[in-house]
Structure 1
Amino acid sequence: MGYSLRSEFIVIIGIPIYLVVFAIHIFKRYKKNIKIKWFRELVKFVFVIYVLMLMSVTLFPIYIGIDHDPNYYRLPINLIPFKNVIKEIGMIGTSYGGDIVFHIKLILRNVVGNTILLLPLGVMSPIIWGKFTRVKMIILEGLIVSIFIELLQLIEILSGIAFMRAVDIDDLILNVLGVIIGYLIYKLTFYISNKYHIKSIMNLFAESTKEHPSDGTD
């Protein structure tokens, strides 16, 4: 008899593990009389939750020891940018019983969903790690993370523990676009906090830029 690991599994397991590691980290800093920057720690905690949610959305559910109808499995690999999006747009009005609104919603959900998938990465990475205040580094990070997700999904499909998934260059392009948009949100927040002297946010950004003095434009 097989079983499935639902998307909630990684979140339920991951958060308690992080909280234990976090408690040990805080205890060590407290013992050494090192100042604890709670706002920064909060951002890290939110980032951990985001990563767990990202994994749950992209890699789960996983089916172990469960036999499926072979027709459920598919291995589409699209390396032509926006080929499927253009194809779907061309089928509006002829698919899904002619339900144009429903079809457009599906297309938007795919495009917008893949764009916002890594958007938080572009916002939080520069705050947590100083080296990601550079636009080149943030794009590279988004590219690596997106490729890693696509490879894991491919491995899951080939190993038979996942189905109805696809490896698509569009996902990669939209994911990186989302990271860039997130980075721009970070830069806009940085600009506003400096212009209006929002000290709590200015201090948070100041901590991250200590590791890298760049203004993030190169």
Structure 2
Amino acid sequence: MYFRYRKRETTFIQQIVYVSFFIYSVLVISQTFLPIPISKRYIQLIIESDTAQKNNFIPFSDIYRLLEVNRNHIFDVILKQIGGNILLLLPFGFYAPILWKRFNKIRSVLVLGFVVSTGIELTQLLISTILGFTYRSFVVDDIILNTTGVLLGYCLFKIVSPLLINMIRSVDTPNNKNLKLLNLWRDL
């Protein structure tokens, strides 16, 4: 990216958007897939002790179970489990319409959120299958909450985009190069 910037193929504002999206993507990967246990002894210990996580394919049952078991700590559960899953992909819903032209409508962002979230859960299931135990559980509720997060991120983008446009216009080139390249031109 630095070399593309030096050749004037991208602007400084684009660089900020691309680099911040890259950092965000790395953080999502680290939160959803890592660490992958590779120690045979550790894996065997988890299998023998039957302490592996459990997959849950029934919608809303995991949320209900968490709230039921933790009645005295409902705020903590909502904040950590439910809020964490929503916040995980919220930035993705904000970045999507900026980075890709096709995600400028709520329906396309909804599909994108569902596909990305399902992809994360299926990858966790695949890695668990390869390892021979569930190191990260496949939970349908996570798909629902992550997709909700993407939609909230998109709504936040729609609310904030006029401010973004004004900020970028104040430093943009006369032909609005940044607005066009960051897909904000359609909101003009």
Give TM class, smaller chain: 0.7 to 0.9
Q: Which TM-score applies when normalising by structure 2?
A: 0.81
- How far residue 205 of structure 1 moved from its aligned partner, in angstroms, is 4.0
Unaligned ranges ≥5, structure 1: 1-21, 94-99
- Residues of 1 paired with 2:107 and 2:171: CA distance? 23
**CA RMSD, Structure 1 to Structure 2 (Å):** 2.6
Preserved CA contact (<8 Å) 2:14 2:182:
no
Q: Is the 8 A contact 1:77 1:166 kept in 2?
A: yes
Match of 2:2 in 1: 23
Verify the 8 A CA contact 2:101 2:183 in the aligned structure 1.
yes
For structure 2, the 5+ residue unaligned runs are: none
Matched, 1:129 2:129: no
Q: 1:200 to 1:206 in 2, by over 3 A?
A: farther
Q: Does the Cα contact within 8 Å between 1:193 and 1:201 map onto a contact in 2? A: no
* Equivalent residue in structure 2 for 1:59, among 10, 33, 40: 33
Distance apart, 1:44 and its partner CA? 0.4
- Deviation string 1:134-174 (CA, Å, 9 cap, x unpaired) is 22222221111111110110011112277442111110011
State the Cα deviation string for residues 76-103 of structure 1 (Å, max 9, x = none).
Answer: 332222112112222335xxxxxx23x6
Pairwise mapping of residues 51-200 of structure 1 onto structure 2 (< 5 A)? 51-67=25-41, 68-69=44-45, 70=47, 71-74=50-53, 76-93=54-71, 100-101=72-73, 104-160=75-131, 163-193=134-164, 197-198=166-167, 199-200=169-170
Matched positions, count: 177
Between 125-134 and 148-157, the greater mean CA deviation after superposition: 125-134
Identity %: 27
Q: Measure, in 1, the Cα distance between the counterparts of 2:182 and 2:144.
A: 27
1:132 match: secondary structure? coil
TM-score, normalization by structure 1: 0.70
2:16 is the counterpart of 1:37: no
Q: Deviations over 1:169-201 (max 9, x none)?
A: 11001111100111111111113456xx43248
What amino acid does structure 2 have at the position aligned with 1:41? Q
Q: Matches of 2:127 and 2:37 in 1, distance apart?
A: 9
Between Structure 1 and Structure 2, the one with more strand by share is 1
Query: Per-residue CA shift, 1:109-144, capped at 9, x if unaligned?
Result: 110000011011111121122222222222221111
In structure 2, what is the Cα distance between the partners aligned to 1:41 and 1:73?
Answer: 42
What letter corresponds to residue 79 of structure 1 in structure 2?
Answer: F
Q: Is the 2:5–2:11 Cα contact (8 Å) retained in structure 1?
A: no
Distance in 2 between residues matched to 1:163 and 1:122, nearest whole Å: 29
Mapped partners of 1:72, 1:129: distance in 2: 42
CA contact (8 A) 1:59 1:153 kept: yes
1:61 deviation in Å? Answer: 0.5
| Contact kept in structure 2, 1:78 and 1:169, CA below 8 Å | yes
